[in-house]
Amino acid sequence: MSGKSKTAPIWVAGCMSGTSLDGVDVALLKTDGVSVCGFGDSAFRAYSEAEQAMFRAELGTWQASEALTELIETAHAEALSELDGFELIGFHGQTLAHAPHERRTYQAGDGAVLAEVTSVPVVWDFRSTDVEMGGQGAPLAPFYHHALARYIGAAGPVAFLNLGGVGNLTWVDPRVADPAAPDALLAFDTGPANAPVNDLTRARRGESYDRDGALAAAGQPDMEVVAKGLEHSFFYKMPPKSLDRNDFHDVLDAVSDLSDADAAATLTAFAAASVARAMEHCPTAPVALYVTGGGRHNATLMAMIAAGVDCPVAPVEEVGLDGDMLEAQAFAYLAVRVLRGLPTSSPSTTGVRAAIGGGRVSRPAA
Ligand SMILES: Nc1ncnc2c1ncn2[C@@H]1O[C@H](COP(=O)(O)OP(=O)(O)OP(=O)(O)O)[C@@H](O)[C@H]1O
Ligand SMILES: CC(=O)N[C@H]1[C@@H]2OC[C@@H](O2)[C@@H](O)[C@@H]1O[C@H](C)C(=O)O
C-alpha cells in the first residue's frame, strides 16, 4: 500500500449498462466516496442489433445464459480498455429482472471475472443487499445526486430526473450534509421513460428510438390513453417505489390502433405525465429540475415535461454535468462508498428500513 490515507480521493471507473439496452457507458470519477473531486474521460461501447436481441430474449430471467454473461463481461472490458489511470471499478451489470416485492433483483455479469480480466478490484452486485433487507434495490443514483447537488453549489432543494428506459426522480436538499439523513433525499422511479417508445419504433419502423422526438412531434397524443395509463396501481403507491423495464409494456397494446406518429406522441405524453405525477411527491418545490439520461435529447419529451411541472427544466449540462455519463459516474461514486463501509441507500431512497451499504468486492488474484 502507498502512504495515502484511506480517505484520500481516488480515480474510479464506473460502468452502467442500462435498461435501454443500447450499450455500456464507462466514466472516470475522482472521489473519496463523500465529495466529487473531479471528472475524467468516458467511453461508450454500443451493443450491436444482434447483441441487443440477445438481451431482449433474456429480459425477465433470473440466470443469464453463458453467452450473454460473456458478452456483458467482454463489452465492459472493451469499454474500460479506453480508459487509463483508475484503481477501482464500480460495475453495475445488466438488470435482467427486478422484483423487490419478492426480495430479489438480478444484475447479470460477474464482477470477479471482470476483476481478473482488468487486474483491478471491482465493486459489484450493488442492489441485492438492499432488496434482501426489504428495500426496493433502486434507484441507487440518489446518493450521488446528493454529492452532485453539493458539488454544483445548489443553495436549496433541486431535483434530478434520469430519463433512461425507466425514469427516476431524486429530490435533494444539499443543505443537509449526510445523504443518509431522513430529510436529505427523496427518490423513486417515476414510470416508463424511453422504453415503450423504443419498443414501438423498433416494432413498427425498425428504428431503435424516436430520434429527437421527431415522430412524436408529428402526432397528436391520445389523452384518454394517457389518463387510463395513469390509473395503473404504480401511480397510487407512495414512494419509495421502483420498476422493472417491462412493467408498462402493456401500454403498447393501448396504442395499437393509432398511427405511428400518434402512438409515439401518446407514449411520450404518458412518460411526461408520469414525471408530472412524480413531482407532486417532492417535499418542497425544487428550484430546478435537472434532466440526465438519453431522454433529455428527445425535444418533444422535454417540452411535454416542461409544460407539466412548475419549476424550470433543463438538461444537467446547464450546471456543467455530463448527462450521458452521470449514471456510470454514480456507480464509480458508490463503489468507493462500498469500499469505505458507507451507506449507499436509505429509507428515503429505496425504502430499506435503515441506511445500508450493499455491494460485493472482488479483487484480482495477486
Ligand atoms: N437524440 C435522441 N433523441 C431521442 N431519444 C434519444 C436520443 N438519444 C438517446 N435517446 C433515448 O435515450 C435512450 C438511452 O438512454 P440512457 O443511455 O440514459 O438509458 P439507460 O442508461 O440504458 O437506461 P436506465 O437509466 O433506465 O438504466 C435511447 O434508447 C433513446 O430512447
Ligand atoms: C433495477 C434497475 O436496474 N433499475 C434502474 C432502471 O433504470 C432507471 C431506473 O430503472 C432506476 O431504478 C435504476 O437505475 C438507476 C441508474 C439507479 O439505480 O439510480
Decide if pLDDT at 12 tops 70: yes
If asked whether residues 129 and 167 sit together in one domain, one would say no
Decide if pLDDT at 217 tops 70: yes
- The count of domains in the chain is 2
Q: How far is the CA of 196 from the centre of ligand 1 (A)?
A: 12
How many Å apart are CA 296 and CA 299, to the nearest integer? 7
- Please check whether residue 350 lies inside any domain of the structure: no
Q: What pLDDT does residue 5 have? A: 58
Q: Which residues have a Cβ under 8 Å from the Cβ of 224 and sit 6 or more positions away?
A: none
Q: What pLDDT does residue 7 have? A: 86
Q: What pLDDT does residue 249 have? A: 86
- Whether residue 198 has its Cβ less than 6 Å from ligand 1: yes
Burial class of residue 122 (count of CB atoms within 10 Å of its CB; 0-12, 13-18, 19+): buried
- Whether residue 193 has its Cβ less than 6 Å from ligand 2: no
Decide if pLDDT at 4 tops 60: no
CATH number at residue 281: 3.30.420.40
- Please check whether residue 5 lies inside any domain of the structure: no
If asked whether residues 93 and 188 sit together in one domain, one would say no
Output phi, psi for 346, to 5 deg: -150, 175
Decide if pLDDT at 295 tops 80: yes
If asked whether residues 216 and 131 sit together in one domain, one would say no
If asked whether residues 52 and 169 sit together in one domain, one would say no
Lookup: cell for 298 = 428527445
If asked whether residues 61 and 201 sit together in one domain, one would say no
Q: How confident is the prediction for the chain on average, in pLDDT? A: 96
Q: How far is the CA of 20 from the centre of ligand 1 (A)?
A: 6
Is the pTM higher than 0.80? The answer reads yes
Q: What pLDDT does residue 149 have? A: 98
- Whether residue 299 has its Cβ less than 6 Å from ligand 1: no
Q: Annotated binding site, which residues?
A: 18-25
- Please check whether residue 144 lies inside any domain of the structure: no
pLDDT tens sequence across 140-196: 999 999 999 999 999 999 999 999 999 999 999 999 999 999 999 999 999 999 999
Cβ-based neighbour number of residue 177 at 10 Å: 10
If asked whether residues 101 and 157 sit together in one domain, one would say no
If asked whether residues 339 and 241 sit together in one domain, one would say no
The percent of residues in the chain predicted with pLDDT above 70, rounded, is 98
How many Å apart are CA 209 and CA 145, to the nearest integer? 27
If asked whether residues 59 and 161 sit together in one domain, one would say no
- Whether residue 138 has its Cβ less than 6 Å from ligand 2: yes
Q: What pLDDT does residue 366 have? A: 79
Site to substitute for ligand 1 among 209, 246, 291, 321, most atoms within 8 A of C-beta: 209
How many Å apart are CA 159 and CA 112, to the nearest integer? 35
Q: How far is the CA of 365 from the centre of ligand 2 (A)?
A: 31
Going by C-alpha positions, the residue among 47, 118, 121 that lies closest to residue 77 is 118
- Please check whether residue 328 lies inside any domain of the structure: no
If asked whether residues 169 and 103 sit together in one domain, one would say no
Q: What is the mean predicted confidence (pLDDT) over 333-344?
A: 98
- Amino acid letter for position 104: R
- Whether residue 25 has its Cβ less than 6 Å from ligand 2: no
Instruction: Give 3's pLDDT tier (boundaries 50, 70, 90).
Output: very low
Going by C-alpha positions, the residue among 165, 145, 269 that lies closest to residue 208 is 165
- Whether residue 330 has its Cβ less than 6 Å from ligand 1: no
If asked whether residues 175 and 118 sit together in one domain, one would say no
Q: What pLDDT does residue 2 have? A: 43
Q: Annotated binding site for ATP, which residues?
A: 18-25
- Whether residue 113 has its Cβ less than 6 Å from ligand 2: no
The answer to whether 171 and 309 are in contact (CB under 8 A) is no
Decide if pLDDT at 337 tops 80: yes
- Please check whether residue 349 lies inside any domain of the structure: no
Q: In which domain, by residue range, is 281 found?
A: 153-319
Q: Which atom of ligand 1 is nearest to the CA of 20?
A: 22
CA distances from 3 to 6, 7, 8, 32, 338 (A): 9, 11, 10, 16, 21
Site to substitute for ligand 2 among 128, 168, 274, most atoms within 8 A of C-beta: 168
Chain mean position to CA 305:
18
pLDDT tens sequence across 263-289: 999 999 999 999 999 999 999 999 999
Decide if pLDDT at 112 tops 60: yes
- Atom 12 of ligand 1 has which residue's CA nearest to it? 294
Burial class of residue 101 (count of CB atoms within 10 Å of its CB; 0-12, 13-18, 19+): exposed
If asked whether residues 94 and 243 sit together in one domain, one would say no
How many Å apart are CA 242 and CA 222, to the nearest integer? 26
- Whether residue 293 has its Cβ less than 6 Å from ligand 1: yes
- Cα dihedral 251, 247, 308, 262, rounded to 10, equals -20
If asked whether residues 168 and 113 sit together in one domain, one would say no
Site to substitute for ligand 2 among 125, 126, 127, 162, most atoms within 8 A of C-beta: 162
The percent of residues in the chain predicted with pLDDT above 90, rounded, is 96
